[in-house]
Amino acid sequence: MLPLRGRTDLKIGLVLVLNPTPRTAPLLFAGRLVEGLDAAARLGCDGVELNILDPQEVDGGDLQRMLRARGLGVCTLATGQAFGRHGLSLASSDPDVRRRTMLRLQAHARLAERVGSGVTVGLIRGMLGGDAAEQEAGRQRILEGMREFATFAAQLGVRVYLEPLNRYECNNVASLPEGLQLIHEIGVDNVYLLADTFHMNIEDVDMAANLRAAGGRLGYVHLADSNRQAPGSGHTDFAPILAALRDIGYSGYLSAEIQPVPDDLLAAERFVRFCRDRV
């Protein structure tokens, strides 16, 4: 395995999804887990992020064996499909929806404990609706739900990654500063930021400065270009971003949440090549 320009503290990951998705989704090897794991191992990746709709439908033992056989770790378990496909949301005004959302997140945390990963909270935090008062009530439900889930995950030794999402996909917590503010309000030590350069390109005026401001609260990074393809395919200037990560001593995963363009394998190869050449 080639080092990242001599850096031994950073790791490379591919973002895979267990369930079939539209081809435009920024996820690789959708519904083809074994193929995706084989590609990650063959390309010399250190781990994979797994998008899982319902962890209770996943055999944790089988998953561990597949990962171990290929020498792969797990960066995090992503939860966003539960919002898009099952309508689960921490912001919901319906107590039953919030209850089922918490049960789903807790199932993710139990699987994360087993495979040694974190859990990402992105779209599953939900959308804010109504007038200003209703939106503030929804934000408070997100805050309370995040605090409850983070406390549960902390008891299992599992990190929680809060992912800011651009305004066209979610109407709350769009930028890194907004994510840091929510983390401060949650007040549980195992909550960290997930910085995704695709979303940051839209919402963060100075990406490098905001990464530096995140400092030790930055727990995980998605590298994707402005067009949601592998870095080098769009107009994002990654030099100051990578310099900022070096400056704050970031030592986690750099993962590819990118569109499978022109296809899954070539997209993954381009991502890994970029990381080997530039990081």
- In-domain check, residue 153: yes
Q: 275, 192, 193: which is closest to 238 by C-alpha?
A: 275
Domain extent, residue 56, equals 11-278
**So what's the pLDDT on residue 53?**
95
Query: Nearest Cα to 231, choosing from 214, 247, 245?
Result: 245
C-beta neighbour count of 42 within 10 angstroms: 13
Residue 47 lies in a domain: yes
d(CA 180, CA 269): 33
Tell me the pLDDT band of 3, cut-offs 50, 70 and 90. very low
Residue from 49, 163, 169, 269 carrying the catalytic annotation:
163
Residue 4 domain flag: no
Judge whether residue 1 has pLDDT over 70: no
Number of domains in the chain: 1
- DSSP letter (8 states) at residue 55: G
Concerning whether 163 is annotated as a catalytic residue, the answer is yes
pTM of the model: 0.95
Query: 163 or 20: which carries more pLDDT confidence?
Result: 163
CATH number of the domain enclosing 264: 3.20.20.150
Q: Is the pLDDT of residue 267 over 60?
A: yes
- Which of 14, 31, 108 has the alpha carbon at shortest distance from 70? 14
- Determine whether 185 is an active site residue: no
- Across the range 262-274, mean pLDDT stands at 97
The pLDDT-based confidence of 27 (bands split at 50, 70, 90) is confident
Does residue 1 lie in a domain region?
no
Report the C-alpha gap between 190 and 70 in whole angstroms: 28
pLDDT digits (tens, 9 = 90+) for 36-73: 999 999 999 999 999 999 999 999 999 999 999 999 99
Give CA–CA dist 125/171, Å, rounded: 10
pLDDT band at 7 (very low <50, low <70, confident <90, very high): low
Annotated catalytic residue: which of 49, 136, 257, 269? Answer: 257
116 lies in some domain: yes
